Amino acid sequence: MYLRNGLCCIYIIFIFSVAVNARSQDVVIDMLSMEQVPYGYVDENGNAKGVLFDILNKIIVESKLDLFNQLIPIRRLDLELTQNKSACSLVADVPNIINNLDLIEPIGYKIEVGVLPRKGVKLFDYKSLTGKVLAVPFGIEFDEKFDNDTNLQKLTPPKYLNAVRMLKAGRVDAAVGAISNLLYLAKREGMARDDFDTPLILSQHDIQLVCSKGLDKTTRQTLKQAVKYLKSKGQIEEILSTYFGAIK
**pLDDT (tens digit, 9 = 90+) per residue, 59-113?**
999 999 999 999 999 888 988 888 877 899 999 998 889 999 999 999 999 999 9
Last residue of a domain, one of 172, 187, 204: 204
Residue at 54 is within a domain: yes
Same domain, 222 and 191: no
Q: Domains in the chain: how many in total?
A: 2
Same domain, 40 and 66: yes
In the chain, the largest separation of any two C-alpha atoms, in whole Å, equals 93
Strand partners, 209: 90, 105
Same domain, 97 and 218: yes
The H or E element spanning position 114 is strand 102-117
If we measure between CA atoms, which residue out of 108, 110, 79, 66 comes closest to residue 201?
Answer: 110
**pLDDT (tens digit, 9 = 90+) per residue, 111-154?**
999 999 999 999 999 999 999 999 999 878 777 889 899 999 99
Provide the mean pLDDT of the chain.
Answer: 87
Q: 30 near 86, Cβ under 8 Å?
A: yes
Q: 9 near 17, Cβ under 8 Å?
A: no
CA atoms within 13 A on the CB side of 152: 23
Same domain, 149 and 232: no
Residues of the domain holding 75? 7-106+211-244
Whether the pLDDT of residue 7 is over 80: the answer is no
CATH code: domain of residue 137: 3.40.190.10
Residue at 1 is within a domain: no
Same domain, 93 and 11: yes
Same domain, 198 and 221: no
Same domain, 19 and 69: yes
Q: Which amino acid is located at 52 in the chain?
A: L
pLDDT at 9: 38
Same domain, 17 and 85: yes
Same domain, 130 and 195: yes
Residue at 2 is within a domain: no
Same domain, 52 and 165: no
Same domain, 191 and 228: no
**pLDDT (tens digit, 9 = 90+) per residue, 184-193?**
999 999 999 9
Same domain, 100 and 121: no
Give me the helices (H) in 25-132, please.
Answer: 51-63, 74-83, 95-100
Q: Measured between alpha carbons, how far is 175 from 26 in angstroms, rounded to an integer?
A: 44
